[in-house]
Chains A and B, each alone.
Chain A
């Protein structure tokens, strides 16, 4: 199927070029291209506009190369190595269109920092997320700002920035698919994922 699509695309493109090239010559000229309504229209009197083509065989031989990278799995939070390790790192939550850390969030971050201090070999990835209400373009940057706010706080508490990477999923990875404040509040969050 994919091959057919690609073939079709190429053919249509070529056809478009041919058609475009013909179009200028095809302007309606009454003496040759506008036979009367009732008269049968002889083939030769019609401007020929070759749209698609018979050149299909060439394109059908062109395989579509699906990139190898497309087959690689995405790193998912669920693939974190250990439930126990993961369980010690708590999420933090945000207000709408805000990356400010609440007092509760700062307390959680302090606990996360203490845990990271005890587990010196651990590296983490902070994943910033948003609810669905904002612009998804804007939220992509807001999610990153949320992740960075948490990273900066942990670094200030003495955790090496080398151990912390950040990523934004914008509004693309909600934990609650609902469309109400309860769902939105759960989705405006940073997750702390143990990296390999």
Chain B
């Protein structure tokens, strides 16, 4: 194994950029063949290390530990790889230099220098974690993405946003009503959500950087569970303007409405396939809520789940090969299934677990769980391993959704 790693590291070091994408770590089976990674204390570029920078080794350990390919070594000498960081301040600018060193070959694998505002230090650290995964697995990490979620921290349900690891929670909405179902645009720069702030549950689209907002669907009844297609041009959602809940798609400004389901049953929770060709959703047309898949024009309908009496909230993986969902069996547990109905696999067992969604790179699933009392936010690898609490506080936090890297 060591020989293989060394050989491949040599290829990485010597070869052109293309070789980096030839991953020698299997991203889809992150728990096998872990590399030992040691993380050195952050040193000072000049003077002493400021308080925030002392948290960096813990940040790297959390990011790269949860990532899957690495086992974090307890001592510097114990790592095949050693991650080193040095921090300094020049005026208002923070500087962070990060290196990943192969201790066997005594060679640097990655060297990066980041600069920015003092308060962006953690973001710089996450950016290096993203980069470590890019170089070593061929696919960038998602750690500079944000997670939007629904929180009752202020008493009622408002939309919040936080770093993926639960740091830096910020309230986005402040209207005192009920705010639900946040979904990021593929750009990561906008969210859509449903709010009762004008009485009816209407769909709003909000630009995160300016706070500017448009009410994109205010039809009679539900305007709920909106989700952007992968190209950002369409929104699938639930409307009940025709008397009962049906799945529709429309343009991102709420026009060009197309009805996709048409029956007396409940149809909710649409989820796009990443190529935009299909939509998974929940319907109780056969008696109890089950997952169905249809073409994005409403045709070619077929039932997806046959196990379990109550299956809900499907979300397609970014690579299109899995659909994660929640099954009610007493409380809820999270399962994943292939889009053809094979490979149905249980991922959670402790507490009641709902609202699963993949990270943009597909490595992780975020979800809400009652396992520690109350409802909090958690993440796990796509295979169910590494389940970790990320909730920023003890408030009821649900419906997490992970943006692309900012």
The residues of A with any CB-CB pair to B shorter than 8 Å are 2, 5-6, 8-13, 15-16, 19, 23-24, 26-28, 30, 33-37, 41, 43, 45-54, 56, 59, 62, 64-67, 69-75, 97, 133-138, 140-142, 144-145, 148, 166-169, 172-173
From B24-32, B170-178, B378-386, the one touching the partner chain is: B170-178
- B222, A141: Cβ atoms under 8 Å? yes
User: Would you call B170 and A5 a contact (CB within 8 A)?
Assistant: yes
B17 near A24: Cβ-Cβ < 8 Å: yes
12 A-B Cβ contacts within 8 A?
A6-B209, A15-B123, A33-B111, A34-B108, A35-B111, A49-B114, A49-B131, A71-B175, A137-B225, A141-B266, A167-B200, A167-B201
With both beta carbons as reference points, the residue of chain A lying nearest to B370 in the complex is identified as A179
In the complex, the answer to whether B313 meets A135 with C-beta atoms within 8 Å is: yes
- The contact size tier of chain B is 35 or more
Chain A residues within an 8 Å CB radius of B188 = 13
The B341-365 residues at the A interface (CB cut-off 8 A) are 354
Q: Which residues of B contact A2 (CB under 8 A)?
A: 211
- Contact of A46 with B123 at beta-carbon distance under 8 Å, contacts A9-B209, A27-B20, A53-B116 already known: no
Provide the residues of chain B in CB contact with A69, threshold 8 Å. 175, 197-198, 215
- A72 to B197, alpha carbons, bound, how many Å? 7
Q: In the complex, what residues of A have CB within 8 A of residue B289's CB?
A: 135, 138
Give the contacting residue for B313; candidates A137, A145, A172; CB below 8 A: A137
Query: What mask results when residues 1 to 20 of chain B are scored 1 for a CB within 8 Å of chain A, else 0?
Result: 00000000000111001001
Docked CA distance A12–B116 (Å): 9
Q: How far apart are the CA atoms of A145 and B14 in the complex, in Å? A: 64
A sample of 19 more A-B contacts (CB under 8 A), given A28-B13, A47-B112, A140-B225, is A9-B208, A11-B120, A37-B108, A51-B123, A52-B123, A64-B210, A66-B174, A69-B198, A72-B197, A74-B196, A135-B312, A135-B328, A135-B332, A138-B289, A140-B224, A141-B245, A168-B221, A169-B178, A172-B180
B67 to chain A, nearest CB (A): 18
- Closest approach, in angstroms, between the C-beta of A38 and any C-beta of chain B? 9
Residue of A nearest to B16 (CB): A27
Residues of chain A contacted by B106 (CB below 8 angstroms): 36-37
Least CB distance from A120 to B in Å reads 24
A8 touches B119 (CB 8 A): yes
Contact indicator B120/A52 (Cβ below 8 Å): yes
**Which of B47-55, B236-244, B272-280 lies on the face that meets chain A?**
B236-244
Q: Is B326 engaged at the interface, CB distance under 8 Å to the other chain? A: yes
A19–B354 CA distance with the chains assembled, in angstroms? 35
Given contacts A13-B209, A41-B97, A74-B177, whether A137 and B114 have CB atoms under 8 Å apart is no
B124, B178, B266: which contacts A52 (Cβ < 8 A)? B124
Q: Which of A47, A48, A65, A144 has the most CB of B within 10 A?
A: A144
A26 B119 Cβ-Cβ under 8 A: no
Task: Determine whether the beta carbon of B20 is less than 8 Å from that of A12.
Answer: no
Interface residue B340 (Cβ < 8 Å from any Cβ of A): no
